[in-house]
Structure 1
Amino acid sequence: MTPARLWPLGLMVLCAVAITYAFGDRLTYQALVDSHDALEAFRNDHAVLTSLAFVTIYAAMVGLSVPGATIATLTGGFLFGLWPGIAFNVAGATIGATLLFLAVRFGLGRSLAERIDASPGRIARIKRGLDENQWSMLFFIRLAPVIPFFAANLLPGLLNVPLNRFVISTAIGILPGAAIYTSVGAGLGSLLETGQRPDLGVIFEPRLLLPILGLAALSLVPVILRLRRSLQ
């Protein structure tokens, strides 16, 4: 690995620090409340531009791992409704995650994966096990709400996961969470009129959490079956 391969990551870190310092106070729920009238007016006057700008900004936030993705998802629901809000939120999140994935893989992933493959011992065996069950593990880390989104973007890049698998599993795996928060955002207007705040912990309510955990467990079935066959 040469230092030149690290420049995308270094540039992204510098941009993330600069954006957080300059705009961190605007990536909050209160900032959304304060600017909701202006955002609605701009969307009404420039619908296509608003859509493109939203997806671009969302992708940049995720790619740079700038705090505020949940607020961005709420904004997508608030501006565009449940549909096409879900599509815009998933598109922005997937594009941003892919940019980070590619930067990590270009800078560290291939070199690290090759070193792990060449090394003896437990770590190499673990990686081979992950390689054999990539689809299952990728869907699991997306569906399990306890795994940070940043980590779910970072680890596949370090393990040299194929790009197409990463993109597909990301777009599908984040759909349940995106649908929930987009729905909350779609109802934000009525909450603001009554002075209420949205429940951002709604995803951890049993009626929503249990089905998502069920999907996460279902994604591990191929891993369990393969392990069972190997033990027979």
Structure 2
Amino acid sequence: MTRDPRLRAALRWLPLALLACASVAVVASGAYHLLSLDRLLASRAWLHGFVEADRARAIVVAGLLYVCAVVLSVPASLVLTMFCGFLFGIVTGALLAVVSATTGAAIVFSIGRGPVGDLMRRRSGPRLAALAEGFRRDAFSYVAFLRLLPLFPFWVTNLAPAAFGVPRRTFVLATFLGLLPGAFVYAATGAGIEDVVASHESARAACLAAGGLGCENALSLGSLVTPKMVAGLGLLALFALSSALLRRYLARRSGPSR
């Protein structure tokens, strides 16, 4: 083991630096477009054949692809969850998506735990310190809230708990449970993919008829997210946050009597 503190510090940052470089390379190369809605819809017949040939192999391959997408911060989780539902059914697809997303999140969490935590502790101000203390007091509810209502990019919600000292077991459990509701919603959407295909083709035809550009992307992912879906996830997130606040209030009231 090296005794040079600068080299030791550099080696601690090396895995995170390599991960960041790989993520930038994937985004810069445009390779993540292979996981776009249009590409996957165009390949749905081949994908069905791949699943029918060997379902277990297809589940493993889909899971590994999902984990890699999460680790490299590729913005394709929603599409991949939909196609898990399309290919394997709502229950299997949702569980596969949640297990894969949680595995990828745990890998990023573990890589960033040491160096990011040290950096945040050195640079933290009063507000950041208060947020870190909140994570330490009720880490499960904080992480679950961020998973239920994705207000921030997925990689942020993987690294922030690592920086704030959240235990790995708590992070994994809260991530798994927090992702479940949304995964079932998107997997159910994917299970009705033929309706999505019909809507997509209709939107593209209308775009072409109007002489528009970029008609391959005429149907946005946002149009698949209904107000009811957003309201349901919002209520679940509000419940998680309310439970955290209630527990803190009760703990504060019971404190002096001890």
Q: TM-score, normalised to structure 1's length?
A: 0.85
| Structure 2 residue 10 is the aligned partner of structure 1 residue 3 | yes
- Point out the more displaced range, 183-192 or 89-98: 183-192
In 2: Cα distance, 1:172 partner to 1:151 partner = 18
| Structure 2 residue 248 is the aligned partner of structure 1 residue 223 | yes
Which residue pairs with 2:136 in the alignment? Answer: 131
CA contact (8 A) 1:100 1:153 kept: yes
Where in structure 2 are the equivalents of 1:1-232 lying within 5 Å?
2-20=9-27, 21-109=29-117, 111-112=118-119, 115=122, 123-192=128-197, 195=201, 199-202=223-226, 205=229, 208-220=232-244, 221-227=246-252
Q: What's the offset of the Cα at 1:68?
A: 1.1
In 2: Cα distance, 1:106 partner to 1:120 partner = 19
Q: What's the offset of the Cα at 1:22?
A: 4.8
Q: TM-score, normalised to structure 2's length?
A: 0.78
In 2: Cα distance, 1:58 partner to 1:120 partner = 36
Q: What's the offset of the Cα at 1:189?
A: 2.7
Aligned length: 229
CA contact (8 A) 2:185 2:229 kept: no
Q: Tell which has more relative contact order, 1 or 2 (C-alpha 8 A, sep 6+).
A: 1
- Point out the more displaced range, 129-138 or 211-220: 211-220
CA contact (8 A) 1:89 1:178 kept: yes
SS of corresponding position for 1:2: helix
RMSD of aligned Cα (Å): 2.7
Q: What's the offset of the Cα at 1:16?
A: 1.6
CA gap of 1:71–1:53, structure 2 versus 1, over 3 A, is: same
Q: What's the offset of the Cα at 1:229?
A: 5.2
The amino acid across from 1:217 in the alignment is L
List per-residue Cα deviations over 1:12-35 (Å, max 9, x = no partner). 122222333152221211111111
In 2: Cα distance, 1:174 partner to 1:13 partner = 24
Q: Equivalent pairs: percent with the same residue?
A: 30
CA contact (8 A) 1:144 1:216 kept: no
CA gap of 1:122–1:208, structure 2 versus 1, over 3 A, is: closer
The amino acid across from 1:219 in the alignment is S
Looking at CA atoms only, which structure, 1 or 2, has the larger radius of gyration?
2
The amino acid across from 1:58 in the alignment is Y
List per-residue Cα deviations over 1:153-211 (Å, max 9, x = no partner). 12101112111001000000111111111110111034325646674323664652453
In 1: Cα distance, 2:156 partner to 2:105 partner = 10
CA contact (8 A) 1:104 1:154 kept: yes
In 2: Cα distance, 1:6 partner to 1:183 partner = 40
In 2: Cα distance, 1:56 partner to 1:178 partner = 17
The amino acid across from 2:33 in the alignment is D
CA contact (8 A) 2:66 2:101 kept: yes
In 2: Cα distance, 1:72 partner to 1:226 partner = 41
Q: What's the offset of the Cα at 1:95?
A: 0.4
